Structure 1
């Protein structure tokens, strides 16, 4: 978020974009909750609650393909971002050895196979322990980076980010990736004893998210790095500790998300677990090889999947279930059109950014 703030011109413009995004996010979330409630009332008594967008789209056939495609592509790309993060952690840990890129690629393959074939299938049997460890390690990594930034500023500060024609749309899509909440909203709703409080949870959660991101934006230094660990001196003890904590956090997140993706593909397409795991691993590895930087990948995820999943599809579900007319219907249609246009523009900008980065590399 700090890196995107510098591209957008500082705290004030970024807070403005974040405010608009969160306002539409709340509106889309309310639409989604309305659609979920209507679908659940039409189901048999005692049926399971809706926990994700594809299960909701299953009751609205015309939206099933688009929703499932967006959902699965999002999981693929997010897993790629996790792998890219783990690779950067390894770069920090192995910095004194100066490992070649090919060596890291081999290590990535080992990580993918081990995580998917062992942890991924048994993650549900471990209870809440992985989630607790994940929270502790990410807080530890962030704490180390925060303390090190103030006590021993890194000597490898990045120059100010250059702004190109595609930079602003790509930064906006990066923000969309950061504030995407509808997938989590349905998971949280499924755990609530009183589902009527879902709207309050949505509003309070997004307000707290806005406050935290606003604090981060206001405290942003002039030239923040695009990756968290880059604020630390490579090879230092603090860098190794933070890299280890972040690696553990991302490995757990990777296992949980890969388990969800594999289960969906196995159930929907009758593909064997091992074959499905192997195909996912190869695809994710290709994604990390094609996208040169973490910031570019998050921008692509935000543009291609986060905007549709967080804003566009929830409003479409609301329109399909509520059958509104008049100004409310025109507002919904206008927001859908704007979200589609934003998706196209930011996706093109993110792809352009990736191509330009490859041009600079070569």
Structure 2
């Protein structure tokens, strides 16, 4: 029997509030810096509808996950998929790994931007290398979610400082360079950009990928995980609404660009952003590394942990330099990797769980159909945006 199979085998360390704090620390991350630009693309009415819809859908998908995991303490989607068929398990593993690898690459990219603002550097290849190297120490010291609870509070505080500074800088007239490239383009191009914006929002608002990791260390996961999820979604939805309304019309696609010309703002904002993303990186690196460690059958030692986290971080550095466009990378991750993890994977896990309720089956089928739509439309929009941006920027890995 797995060491995570029975509730009694792992007493956990926190309840509803502790679980919600970890989920909010993961969600109120770098994606929020792209939300004002995406909200302008979709229109405030469209964004508000998306926010409400996301609350309902994420709570529904999270409930499917917790019902599938009821009675146990599975570490993540990969472990919970052990009883699924070979094809379903392969789909779940592919979605899990692709999402976390891409997310870590996006975190390295944002950490490099934070360093550049804080110290005045300008070479993404070098600053991202420095950022990746610096977070390895934190990864060695935080090998459980419980140890990340207090750093998560500091992380949330740091991102609020960054958001406050960005919003304080929004009193200036908008820079024409902030305008999206599709403005005035044909309708099909605007539709693709809107699809990419939806993908970006899916990335920022998803809570499922670490729900099981958080659930596993709760004192009573069967009773506490759903309330923690609902509280977390309500909290970060409120934060997102305040940020979008505070940013006003025509914000930059990367909200941090609003302070790039103000030295007295950009240095503290860059330092706080780096601190925040370092914790977010550790929160996502820990489950990915533990899952890989288990699948590869590696011995649980400090030396092997260092080697594994170093290899993962090196791949994240590669992603950050291959697609160094923050809004486009967020859209690509959201549509291609986060949508399956947020909606389809919970549905597949529930469909393979016993017993099942008929109305939950219908929910699961809806989540699968929704995922297919988001993946096809959102990924197409993100790829078109990336191609457009490469026409006006230096080649990958170049300063």
Per the TM superposition, whether the score is higher than 0.5 is yes
Q: Name the counterpart of 2:82.
A: 58
- Aligned partner of 2:180 among 157, 161, 177: 161
Matched, 1:263 2:290: yes
Q: What is the root-mean-square deviation of aligned Cα atoms in Å?
A: 2.8
Superposed counterparts of 1:32-47, under 5 Å:
32-37=65-70, 40=72
Q: How many angstroms apart in 1 are the aligned matches of 2:256 and 2:335?
A: 24
2:242 to 182, 195, 215: 215
Alpha-carbon distance, 1:224 to partner? 0.6
Query: How many Å separate the matches in 2 of 1:123 and 1:326?
Result: 41
Bigger mean CA deviation after superposition, 173-182 or 26-35: 26-35
193-202 vs 52-61, which moves further: 193-202
2:340 aligned with 1:308: yes
Given that 1:121 and 1:259 are in contact with CA atoms closer than 8 Å, whether structure 2 keeps it comes out as: no
Out of 324, 330, 337, the residue aligned to residue 298 of structure 1 is 330
Distance 1:214 1:35, change over 3 A: same
Answer yes or no: is 1:189 the counterpart of 2:215.
Answer: yes
Give the direction of change, closer, same or farther, for the CA distance of 1:270–1:109 in structure 2 (3 Å limit).
farther
Instruction: Tell me the distance in 2 between the aligned counterparts of 1:174 and 1:185.
Output: 20
Deviates more, 1:305-314 or 1:194-203: 194-203
Is the aligned partner of 1:237 residue 2:264?
yes
Distance 1:274 1:149, change over 3 A: same
Contact 1:303 1:347 in 2 (8 A): yes
- 2:53 is matched with 20
Structure 1 contact 6–222 (Cα < 8 Å) conserved: yes
Is this contact kept in 2: 1:53–1:67, CA < 8 A? yes
Pick closer, same or farther for the CA change 1:321–1:340 going to 2, 3 Å. Answer: same
Partners of 1:35 and 1:318 within 8 A in 2:
yes
- Cα distance in 2, alignment partners of residues 194 and 259 from structure 1: 20
What is the CA distance between 1:349 and its match in structure 2? 2.0
Distance 1:348 1:194, change over 3 A: closer
Give the counterpart of 1:138 among 145, 159, 176. Answer: 159
1:336 aligns with 2:368: yes
Distance 1:93 1:3 in 2: 23
Residues 83 and 64 from structure 1, CA distance in 2 versus in 1: closer, same or farther, beyond 3 angstroms?
A: same
Give the alignment partner of residue 353 of structure 2, picking from 278, 299, 321.
Answer: 321
Alpha-carbon separation, structure 1, partners of 2:364 and 2:248: 38
Between the aligned partners of 1:136 and 1:219, the Cα distance in structure 2 is 18
Return the alpha-carbon distance in structure 2 between the equivalents of residues 79 and 156 of structure 1. Answer: 30
Q: Deviations over 1:187-231 (max 9, x none)?
A: 443314363243333334333433333333344412111223211
Q: How far apart, CA to CA, are the structure 1 residues paired with 2:84 and 2:132?
A: 35
Question: Structure 1 residues 110, 243: CA separation in 2 closer, same or farther (over 3 Å shift)?
Answer: closer
Q: Which residue is 1:110 aligned to?
A: 130
Cα offset, 1:266, TM superposition: 2.8
Which stretch has the larger CA shift, 126-135 or 167-176?
Answer: 126-135
Structure 2 distance, partners of 1:259, 1:200, is 24
Unaligned runs of 5+ in 2: 1-34, 183-188, 299-303, 395-399
- Is the CA contact (8 Å cut-off) linking 2:167 and 2:246 kept in structure 1? no
The corresponding residue for 2:38 is 4
Seen in structure 2, the aligned counterparts of structure 1 residues 342 and 160 have a Cα distance that, compared at 3 Å, is same
CA distance in 2 between partners of 1:82 and 1:284 (Å): 8
What secondary structure, in the 3-state scheme, does the structure 2 residue paired with 1:266 have?
helix
Q: Structure 1 unaligned runs (5+)?
A: 41-48
Once the two structures are superposed, residues 296-335 of structure 1 have per-residue CA deviations (whole angstroms, 9 ceiling, x without a partner) of 1111111122111111111122222256586764553344
What TM-score do you get using the length of structure 2 for normalisation? 0.76
2 CA distance for matches of 1:136 and 1:23?
27
Alignment of 1:82 onto 2:107: yes
What whole-Å deviation, never above 9, does each CA across 1:268-288 have from its counterpart, x for those lacking one? 224644543443233222211
Query: Structure 1 pair 269/326, CA: closer, same or farther in 2 (3 Å)?
Result: closer
Q: Secondary structure at the match of 1:223?
A: coil
Q: Deviations over 1:67-94 (max 9, x none)?
A: 2221122111111111111121222234
